[in-house]
Amino acid sequence: MTLLAVLAALLGRADSADAAWARQPERLVAVCSTTQVADFVRQVVGDRWEVVCVLAPGQDPHTYQTTTDDARQVARATLCFENGWHLEGADWMRKLAENAGKPIVTCVDGLEPLVIEEEGRTTNDPHAWFSPANAAHYVRTIRDAVVGIDPEHASEYRSRADAYVLQLGALHQWALRELADIAPDQRILITNHDAFGYFCRDYGFRAVTPVGWSTKDEIGGGASIDRHDEVVRTVRSAGVRSIFVETSINPRMMQQLAEETGVVVGGTLYSDSMGAADSAGESYVGMMRENVLRIVSGLAIEPTAPRRASADAPER
């Protein structure tokens, strides 16, 4: 073999190695609307997919306005994921996916909704992730969708989903034990908006809120006078010790309510958004645990001195 032939053979091999590298499938990309949905997707796909979340921690899904960068991210998506039941105000995630011609998975599909009646209209309460049993449904829906796209790794997705569903079951049992410290007549959860309906159903609480199922109500003219009056009445008649603000919502309304009724703000609860990276609420399990601990510390113990808003409230 001449030197030229050897060189040609080596170059040829190099070419074919390059070609093999170039043929490697690109990493699958999931684009998710909310921080909770993105966490559930990550739990199922691990490092095999790139997971992009449109909302940053602390952003409000009801009022979010999409950007050109969101459209660019969705254009790269293999599969899009939304919560559904109009949590994403005006269905912004569905519109992003449809405009880009991308398939979208709606995590609440197949769940039994809590139905809210508001001003003569009924709506499915979209905050379904607040029940760990519902969260397991999100995870199974996500698992089936990714198995459909990438069946080669089905067993990996299934075992990851199974392991996480076990964690959700443990979370539920832990929450039941912790919340048992709160007397039945104190199980009243007063927050900005109707986000905690499923939590209240699972753990025997009653939710009383000045704002309805969407925070858009707050922006479009504030809480209704009827709802405001009901909150004030409930605080006074039931002797409610603490009311709570939510991480993704301006705390002003609840601070005013606290002043008006003479109770304290018992802390900040994660509602429509999880916390920032490295905070206790950066994962779904973490945000649920933080909420339970804050609710217990706000409502369980007979206060001997006026309580103050918790100093270690999660960042907004």
Q: C-beta of 270: minimal distance to Zn ion in Å?
A: 11
CB atoms within 10 A of CB 280: 14
The residue with its CB nearest to Zn ion is 272
121 burial level (CB within 10 Å; 0-12, 13-18, 19+): exposed
* SS3 state of residue 259: helix
- 298: part of which helix (H) or strand (E)? helix 284-299
Of the pair 61, 132, the CB lying nearest Zn ion is at 61
Query: What is the C-alpha to C-alpha distance for residues 65 and 194, in angstroms, rounded to an integer?
Result: 21
179/269 with CB nearer Zn ion: 269
Residue with smaller CB distance to Zn ion, 58 or 161: 58
Least distance in angstroms from the C-beta of 258 to Zn ion: 21
Strand pairing report for 188-190 and 121-124: unpaired
Give 157's contacts (C-beta < 8 A, 6+ positions apart). Answer: 44, 45, 143, 146, 147, 150
Q: Which is nearer to Zn ion, 107 or 165 (CB)?
A: 107
Quote the least distance from Cβ 127 to Zn ion, whole Å. 6
- Enumerate the H helices of the chain as residue ranges: 3-23, 35-45, 68-75, 92-100, 132-149, 154-179, 197-203, 216-219, 225-238, 252-261, 284-299
Q: Which CB, 128 or 195, lies closer to Zn ion? A: 195
DSSP state for residue 275 in the 8-state scheme: P
Task: Give the residues lining the site for Zn ion (CB under 5 A).
Answer: 195, 272
Q: How far is the CB of 194 from Zn ion (least distance, A)?
A: 7
Residues 6+ apart with CB under 8 A from 37: 53, 81, 82, 83, 107, 138
Task: Give the 3-state secondary structure of residue 112.
Answer: coil
Minimum distance from CB of 120 to Zn ion (Å)? 21
Please state, in angstroms and rounded to a whole number, the distance separating the CA atoms of residues 254 and 209: 10
Tell the smallest beta-carbon distance from residue 136 to Zn ion (Å): 21
d(CA 33, CA 36): 9
Q: Residue 43 or residue 273: which is nearer to Zn ion going by CB?
A: 273
> Any residues with CB less than 8 A from the CB of 237 and at least 6 apart, and which?
none
The nearer residue to Zn ion, 45 or 269, going by C-beta atoms, is 269
CA–CA dist 109, 134 (Å, integer): 11
Minimal distance, residue 176 CB to Zn ion, in Å: 24
Quote the least distance from Cβ 60 to Zn ion, whole Å.
7
Length of the chain: 316
Nearer to Zn ion among residue 43 and residue 214 (C-beta): 214
Q: How far is the CB of 58 from Zn ion (least distance, A)?
A: 13
Q: Note the maximum CA span of the chain.
A: 98
Between 209 and 242, name the residue whose CB sits nearer to Zn ion: 209
Give Cα 152 to chain centroid, integer Å: 29
